[in-house]
Amino acid sequence: MADSHSFRFPGESDSYRLARNQLLQAEIDLRRRVEEVAALRRQLPLGGEIPEDYVFEEGSADLSAPDSVRQVSLSQLFQTGKDTLAIYSFMFGPKMKAACPMCTSMLDSLDGTAVHAAQRINLAVVAKSPLERIRSFARERGWSRLRLLSSAGNDYNRDYYGENAEGGQQPSLNVFVRRGQKIHHFFHTELLLAPPEPGQNQRHVDMIWPLWNLLDFTPEGRGADFYPSLTYR
């Protein structure tokens, strides 16, 4: 194979190497396709201008920070010199008994990533619950780097598919861009909204979720019945 290499691992058989080289070719093809899709995403034209400058409640989960709450508009989430804003809609509505374990698993990882992402973009996490409920949960999880917002007082979740028409919460990642004095929608993880395929879940935010990507490297894979939990015994 043109894209194979000469490296070998201790004790491997010829049949293993043949199968691994075939997989390697598939991985190379997938890498190329991922890059092509990312390029197509970057080439998207501007989406619609935001219908209003949504006002959220914000407060840090960091116990060492001042225990204050403030009102912040979507436009104020953009820092000087950073014209891209990513907002993850977290499934934690006021009628839910507990936060979504799947969202929580992803956000456990994103809390560590946030300081790195902040070097290039603005990042925030929003949920429909009252802010103090969000902050309390974030403290339980040990989150300290995520910018936490409550959309309890606005229609952001409804307008950008953080909830469905019945008010059920949905996990959505939206990206906005600032151009001059205007803010436009740029991207939504629309695999969430596409018709389902047999044997496939939406996988709309998998690329920012280390858990599933790690399990995909193993012989057990993701497991047919495994889903993250809020606690383990």
Q: Which distant-in-sequence residues (6+ apart) come within 8 Å of 117 by Cβ?
A: 86, 123
Among 2-16, 127-141, 175-189, 190-204, whose mean pLDDT is lowest?
Answer: 190-204
Cα-to-chain-centroid distance, residue 128: 17
Contact present, 82 and 119 (Cβ < 8 Å): no
91-121 b/e (C-beta count within 10 Å ≥ 16 → b): bbbeeeeebbebbbbbbeebbeebeeeeeee
Domain 55-190: top CATH class: alpha beta
Beta strand pairing call for 70-73 and 148-150: unpaired
**Structure token digits, residue 8:** 């070998």
Q: Is the pLDDT of residue 63 over 60?
A: no
Q: Specify the pTM.
A: 0.91
Q: Which distant-in-sequence residues (6+ apart) come within 8 Å of 140 by Cβ?
A: none
Helix H or strand E segment including 151: none
Mean pLDDT of the chain: 93
User: Structural domain boundaries of the chain?
Assistant: 55-190
* pLDDT tens-place string over residues 155-212: 999 999 999 999 999 999 999 999 999 999 999 999 999 998 887 777 888 889 999 9
